């Protein structure tokens, strides 16, 4: 058997592998604060800020919206976000990123990346649900609680 037929047979698999969608979340370790300040990003659809605020509110956080030129040190807990949409048969969320800073240091990040989604039909997701999923993973637990690693207990 020659190399050529084998490599031709593998070509479709290689092309599909290049159509990956990635989501990574580095959650906050512990956050006892109940207020999260979110720096407004006017370049992003307002629905992203609305979803972000709604999910944080459902988790018991109060959200203070800051102007786009605010510093990440303006509040103890500050967050930034960005999101982009693309057209491919329909509009879809192409990329989203949420970063959380505590005392000016990055402590958590959630990224959804469909920039290499190509022919992957999984890129046509409900953006509102995806944002909620990301925020719930980024902020484990609720406001005023400490996140506990799986398999551990706390004693009071």
Tens-place pLDDT, residues 63-106: 999 999 999 999 999 999 998 866 566 455 678 899 999 999 99
Nearest CA among 118, 119, 97 for reference residue 108: 97
Q: What does the pLDDT look like over 116-133, one tens digit per residue?
A: 554 444 445 666 788 889
Q: What is the CATH number of the domain that holds 128?
A: 3.30.160
Residue 56 in domain: yes
SS3 label, residue 84: strand
Q: Residue 40 falls within a domain, yes or no?
A: yes
The owner of tokens 């004693």 is 155
Q: Is residue 113 part of a domain?
A: yes
Lowest mean pLDDT among 32-46, 114-128, 130-144: 114-128
Give a yes or no: residue 120 inside a domain. yes
Q: What pLDDT sits at residue 24?
A: 86
Flag whether 109 is in a domain: yes
User: Count of domains in the chain?
Assistant: 1
Q: How far apart are CA 82 and CA 62, in angstroms?
A: 20
Mean per-residue pLDDT for 48-70?
Answer: 95
C-alpha angle 115/28/50, rounded to 5°? 60
What is the residue range of 131's domain?
A: 20-138
Residue 62 in contact with residue 77, Cβ under 8 Å?
no
Give the pLDDT mean for 28-55: 90
Does position 46 have pLDDT exceeding 50, yes or no?
yes
């Amino acid at each position: 058997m020659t190399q050529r037929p084998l490599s031709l047979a593998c070509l479709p698999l290689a092309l599909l592998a290049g159509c990956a969608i990635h989501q990574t979340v580095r959650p906050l370790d512990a956050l006892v604060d109940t207020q999260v300040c979110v720096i407004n990003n006017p370049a992003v659809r307002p629905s992203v800020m609305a979803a972000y605020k709604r999910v944080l509110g459902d988790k018991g956080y109060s959200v203070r919206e800051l102007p786009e030129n605010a510093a990440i040190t303006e509040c103890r807990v500050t967050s930034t976000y960005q999101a982009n949409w693309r057209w491919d048969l329909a509009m879809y969320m192409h990329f989203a990123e949420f970063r959380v800073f505590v005392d000016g240091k990055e402590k958590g990040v959630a990224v959804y990346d469909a920039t290499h989604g190509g022919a992957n039909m999984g890129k046509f997701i409900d953006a509102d649900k995806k944002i909620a999923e990301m925020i719930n993973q980024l902020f484990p637990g609720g406001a005023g609680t400490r996140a506990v690693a799986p398999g551990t207990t706390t004693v009071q």
